[in-house]
Structure formats: C-alpha cells, structure tokens
Amino acid sequence: MVTLEKIFDIQYGNSLNLNQLKQVEDGVNFVSRTAKNNGVSAIVKQLENEKSMPIGSITVSLGGSVLEAFVQDKPYYTGYHIYCLTEKEGIKLTAQQKLYYCMSIRANKYRYSYGRQANRTLRNLLVPSVDEIPKWVEGYDVSRFDDAFLPHFNKKIDLNFQHWKEFKYDELFDIERGRGPRRKDLDGSGNTPFVSSSDTNNGLTAVTTMSPIHKGNAIGVNRNGSVAEAFYQKVAFCSTEDVHIFYPKFELNEYVAMFLNTLIKKEAYRYNYGRKWGMARMRASTIKLPVDIEGNIDLKYMENYIKTLPFSSSI
C-alpha cells in the first residue's frame, strides 16, 4: 500500500460557482460534489479565460458526497472542493486501472461520516500500489459501456400534463408485503436475489438459497428504511418485510417500470422523520399518470418517453 500522492499529482479544480455560469446543451461538463452522473451536474458555456481540466483525470469530492471518485472522459470544469488527480510523470494507467483507483478511494468513505471533509487528508490516503492491482482488473472490458449513454431512439416527447389523471395505487397494483428469509440467516450462498429496503443496487443486497417467493416483472417499494425507493425486479426474488411488492394489473415492462419508479420515488418527502409508508396508506395513496383518450393509463406513451432518454438503450 502507498499514499495516493505517490501515484497521482493532486490539485484543486477550477472552483467555479455554477450560478455564475451559463448552462447550455453543447459545452463543457461541470463536475460538482454529487454522487450521480459521473459527478457531472451541468453542461456550461466554455469560458475564454478558464482552462478546462484534462480528459482522463480523476475527480474526487472533498465535501458533500465525500470521496465520490470518477474518471472524466471529456474536458470539464469543477465546482468548489473538488480535487483533480492525474498520473505522476512516469506512471501511465489504463482506463481499467483508473476505475480501480476510483473504487479504492470510495472504499474509504466510511472515514468521513458526520460532516468530515477530505481536503487535508486525501493525499495520504492509503491505496494499492500499481504493482498490487489485481490481474482481473486489466482483463475487464470497459469498452462495452462506450454507447451506454445513447437513447433507444432519437426523438423528443414532451410531458403534457394536461392529459394526466390521478389513480389510487390499489387500482393499478395488487400490493403485498415482502417475504423471505431473515437477513441474519443469509450466508452469501444461493442464486435467488434478496431485496431489502436499500436505495442502491436496484434494492439487491444479497442472495439466498431459498426458492423465490415473489414473481418477477414486479416493482418493489420500500415502506421503511429508504422509504419510497422503488425498483423494478425482472426475475423472481425474495424480500424483507420492509419492501412492499407491486404486482401490476396491466402489462408491465422495464420501460414503463422506469417511468413509474420515478414518480413513486417523488413520494419520499412525505415520509421524513422516521414515518413509514404502511400498507393501508400505500394502497390509498395516489399517483398521477398520462392517460389515453379513453382515460386509461397510456402505457405506450410512458414506454416511448423513457426510450427517448439518455442511457435508455442500455435498459
């Protein structure tokens, strides 16, 4: 293990204020302290007197989403409290190796709970040396993600809210409580997905040897924990009781599920301060959806809208 500064030259980024920049559709990526979208929170107009940071460098958040690390594949500007890492002279890392170091940096996030920042300590973070990088890293094919950002097809569909209608959840879904083994009984073996009230990894937190209890092509919605997080489960699975299972009363596919999940997640603000989204309240809750001329939910509209979004070709 070596300190991070033995491998990378570490410097602050541009430290620009997004509020003072003009956002455009075709410009320079703006990297902030977010944990999403590779750290890119906006695209801004290029500045005459500000040099963009280099392609292939790694950005690391020092505050906010501390130690979120991303390889930047385009020139970019940064907001405040972002370090930019480039290989030291004489060191040439592959794309796979850079991604491995991003993973190694993120593995230290637990050290920065309770509002601690990494401004002073990042340079001395211990990571594997280049010689210690596992052999499997270099064999990983990252090129398969080259076109991941593309939409399914190129067209624009506007969200016309005039043709939306409110539905109760129990009009659209049969809802049941999640069932499966107790988490403490899981030992890491098995092939059946185990879903819990997580907000990451599509809710998947483990596998189990138990036979699946819930059918696939359903949506799991958290009643507790990360309340209102919703994930589409394509294959049969088991679950904790903190996840309610939504079985559709209509024809569901992954594109329609992505549309619905986004709207379901919008309910999260109602359940702050430890409130749970119980079964009775969930069944009586409402969701507003686009409808056709007969007043039925417009499944084709929802599917096509998702297919116009970036990354939809990878669903």
Query: Is the pLDDT reported for residue 315 higher than 90?
Result: no
pLDDT confidence tier of residue 57, bands split at 50, 70 and 90: very high
For range 72-80, the mean pLDDT: 95
Residues 6 and 118 in one domain: yes
Q: What is the pTM of this model?
A: 0.72
- Which of 145, 174, 204 represents a domain boundary (last residue)? 145
Average pLDDT score over residue span 96-124: 90
When the pLDDT of each residue in the chain is averaged and rounded to a whole number, the result is 92
At 120-176, the pLDDT tens digits run: 899 999 999 999 999 999 888 777 777 777 888 888 888 888 889 999 999 999 999
Q: Which amino acid is at 36?
A: K
Where do the DSSP E strands lie in 35-125? 40-44, 58-61, 69-71, 76-78, 82-87
| Residue 15 is assigned to a structural domain of this protein | yes
Residues 8 and 116 in one domain: yes
Confidence label for 243 from pLDDT (cuts 50, 70 and 90): very high
For residue 199, the domain's CATH number is 3.90.220.20
Q: Containing domain of residue 289, as a range?
A: 161-314
Structure tokens belonging to residue 224? 């507790």
Asked if 53 and 73 count as a contact pair (C-beta separation under 8 A), the reply is: no
In this prediction, residue 161 carries a pLDDT of 85
Question: Among 145, 171, 203, where does a domain finish?
Answer: 145
Domain termination site, one of 145, 179, 205:
145
Contact 238, 257 (CB under 8 A): no
* Cβ burial 68-81 (10 Å sphere, 16+ → b, else e): bbbbbeeebbbbbb
Residues 271 and 137 in one domain: no
For the chain, the distance separating the N- and C-terminal CA atoms, rounded to the nearest angstrom, is 38
In one-letter notation, the amino acid at residue 127 is V
C-alpha 295/C-alpha 164 separation (Å) is 9
Report whether 179 contacts 238 (CB < 8 A).
yes
- If asked whether residues 140 and 166 sit together in one domain, one would say no
Q: How far apart are CA 270 and CA 275, in angstroms?
A: 8
Task: State how many domains the chain has.
Answer: 2
Same domain, 91 and 204: no
Task: Give me the pLDDT at residue 272, please.
Answer: 77
Question: Is residue 187 classed as helix, strand or coil in its secondary structure?
Answer: coil
Query: Domain check: are 130 and 233 in the same one?
Result: no
